[in-house]
Amino acid sequence: MPICLRGCEWLVFYIDKIRTMFAFIGSGKALFMVYKGKLYVPGKLSDMASQYAKLAGLDRSGACHLYRHNTATTMLDNGDDLRHIQEMLGQLASLLHNFILT
């Protein structure tokens, strides 16, 4: 999946500085974790996004889906190729599915 240089820099920062504060031997190779190094469970990210949306005063459900839709719309508005966006979102869906299963 394509990622910009700035995104790579933030991932390196997270891996080097933040992840090490939460990871323990049971965390394995998981990139993102919840509190105390536990692995994300299916639906947790969606639950967290919904909580933050409510705190921000948004009265809509499906926060992760809304984010995904907004990302695709913004990319289209900025001239990205529709096929590229479809491929990226398909890879993201596959990546998230595999992430949840592992």
Residue type (1 letter), 32: F
**Assigned token pair, 61:** 């459900």
DSSP state of 2: -
Over residues 63-77, the pLDDT tens digits come to 677 777 788 888 888
Over residues 18-66, the pLDDT tens digits come to 888 878 777 777 777 777 777 777 777 778 778 888 888 877 776 677 7
Residues facing 9 on adjacent strands: none
Specify the pTM. 0.45
pLDDT of residue 91: 62
DSSP state of 30: -
